[in-house]
Copies of this chain bind each other. A is one copy, B any other.
Amino acid sequence: YLLAQTTPSPAADTSARQAKEAPSLLFKKKPDALENIHMNFLLRSSLEIPDGDRQSSMRMNEARFEVLGTIAPDLDFRIRYRLNRAQTPRDLDNSPGSLDHASVNYKFGKDKKWSVNVGKQAAYVGNWEFETNPTYEYQYSDFVNYQTNLFLMGIRFGYQVNKNHGFFLQLHNTYNNSFHTTYANAGYAADGLKGSKTPMGVYASWLGKMFDQKLHTFWSYNVSQYASGKTNHAVALGNKLTLKKLKGYLDLQWAAMPVDYVNIASPSINKYQQQLNPGFVPGFARDVNYKGAVLRLDYEFIPGWFLTTKGIFESSSQTKDNSTIGKNFRENIGILAGLEYKPIASQHMKLFGYYYNNQVKYRNVIADANAHQRSSLFAVGVLYFVNAF
């Protein structure tokens, strides 16, 4: 995590740079043929002790395999897949949920300022929480877990103005599954909607470095379609601070969803509607707005020892046509505090322990049908970003 925060580059470039820049006490000369090829494993396991009746267990939190590299000048490839996810392909993009990256990146033009990245790739959303290597992120917001379609088929064009500022346009599939399958999986009725002929969208993103590279911005605007005639809009403003002993980020985001395909808020609205009218047919709710803020701060108080904290606040609203459901009818609040120890300076391995508390609260009429939920978790474990070569 530390490492991911010290590198200002986005997900698609992070790990290669990690492998290259990582200060190693064990530096070994690589043969020419492998100089630009890297194989990585992303591992995290922990003993999780939840409160209440839920069973304690040792869980595999992360197990991913990555190969990436540069073969010809200016031509990179990246493959990353999860070892604990089914490899069955989704029906719109023919790619499985287990495959994070399978892409080719090509730099061109004067001074190689232009680039194009094609294939399965990370959404270029302005969000440092997601941008951080998943090895280092213990608990995610709903924004990363559900709201954003994170790994998708796309084409990303980039223009690097100078070493501090780059601009990107990413054309992407809105979701991985077809319209019909999305409804079938949720068990919802289509409610008069039909799939867009072109269920795609665009991210316009800016990556900037300021104040002697101490502040890294990653801001994006997204417009996309999934149902015919229904257009989603979203803004995400990621801001990362990299000081000597203190590192962290503040991510802010807003989204307007004419149809709530992300399905975070819909279950609570369906429950409320069914209470009013037992014959109500559940579906994706209309005109839901999301907003959220995530703050993470890590402080190295003794060399090799880190205090890590994270706060999550997210809310859902439905205000169109003076809906009785109203503002902030669902809130998701998370608080994490933990301690990390990095015993070997050259290796991205940490022992960790943390406490996480999560609450989901309902307001207005929605609270009548949905009770507050509260859960907490204590975890101890090991994470290791293994750079095999």
- What separation, in Å, do the CA atoms of A349 and B59 have in the docked complex? 36
Does any Cβ of B come within 8 Å of A161's Cβ? Answer: no
Per-residue B-contact encoding for A100-132, CB less than 8 Å = 1, 0 else: 001110100000000000111000000000000
Does any Cβ of B come within 8 Å of A311's Cβ? Answer: no
> Which stretch of A9-17, A247-255, A331-339, A379-387 is in the interface?
A379-387
* Residue in B43, B102, B381 whose CB lies within 8 Å of A102: B43
Does any Cβ of B come within 8 Å of A45's Cβ? Answer: yes
Q: How many copies does the complex hold?
A: 3
Per-residue B-contact encoding for A149-183, CB less than 8 Å = 1, 0 else: 00001110000000000000001110000110000
Does any Cβ of B come within 8 Å of A276's Cβ? Answer: no
- What separation, in Å, do the CA atoms of A85 and B86 have in the docked complex? 9
Does any Cβ of B come within 8 Å of A322's Cβ? Answer: no
Cβ–Cβ contact A153 & B60, under 8 A: yes
Given A31-B34, A84-B94, A389-B33, A120-B382 contact (CB < 8 Å) = no
Given A56-B198, A58-B154, A60-B102, A30-B28 contact (CB < 8 Å) = no
Given A71-B388, A72-B26, A347-B75, A84-B96 contact (CB < 8 Å) = yes
Give min CB distance, A268 to chain B, whole Å: 24
- Interface of chain A, helix or strand or loop or mixed? strand
Give min CB distance, A305 to chain B, whole Å: 17
Question: Chain B residues with Cβ under 8 A from A198's Cβ?
Answer: 55-56
Cβ–Cβ contact B94 & A347, under 8 A: no
> Looking at A72, A172, A196, A381, which has the most chain B CB atoms within 10 Å of its CB?
A72
Does any Cβ of B come within 8 Å of A93's Cβ? Answer: yes
Cβ–Cβ contact A86 & B87, under 8 A: yes
Given A61-B94, A84-B96, A347-B71 contact (CB < 8 Å) = yes
Give min CB distance, A206 to chain B, whole Å: 23
In the complex, which residues 249-269 of chain A have their Cβ closer than 8 Å to any Cβ of chain B?
none
* Residue in B57, B199, B343 whose CB lies within 8 Å of A153: B57
Cβ–Cβ contact A349 & B104, under 8 A: yes
Cβ-closest chain B residue relative to A226? B55
Give min CB distance, A171 to chain B, whole Å: 8
Does any Cβ of B come within 8 Å of A184's Cβ? Answer: no
Question: Chain B residues with Cβ under 8 A from A346's Cβ?
Answer: 72
Does any Cβ of B come within 8 Å of A344's Cβ? Answer: yes
Does any Cβ of B come within 8 Å of A377's Cβ? Answer: no
Cβ–Cβ contact B388 & A37, under 8 A: yes
Does any Cβ of B come within 8 Å of A195's Cβ? Answer: yes
Does any Cβ of B come within 8 Å of A3's Cβ? Answer: no
- What separation, in Å, do the CA atoms of A120 and B386 have in the docked complex? 15
> Looking at A37, A104, A171, which has the most chain B CB atoms within 10 Å of its CB?
A104
Cβ-closest chain B residue relative to A39? B67
Given A37-B388, A84-B99, A118-B381 contact (CB < 8 Å) = yes
The 5 closest A-B pairs by CB, nearest first: A58-B153, A60-B95, A28-B32, A30-B33, A31-B31
Provide 24 A-B residue pairs closer than 8 Å at the C-beta atoms, listed in order of the A residue: A25-B72, A26-B73, A28-B32, A29-B31, A30-B32, A30-B33, A37-B388, A43-B104, A45-B103, A45-B153, A53-B197, A55-B92, A55-B198, A56-B198, A56-B200, A58-B173, A59-B153, A60-B102, A60-B119, A63-B79, A67-B388, A85-B87, A86-B86, A104-B386
Given A45-B118, A55-B178, A55-B179, output 15 extra A-B contacts at Cβ < 8 Å: A29-B33, A31-B34, A34-B34, A41-B102, A55-B198, A55-B199, A58-B173, A59-B153, A67-B388, A69-B388, A71-B347, A75-B349, A83-B98, A84-B94, A85-B87
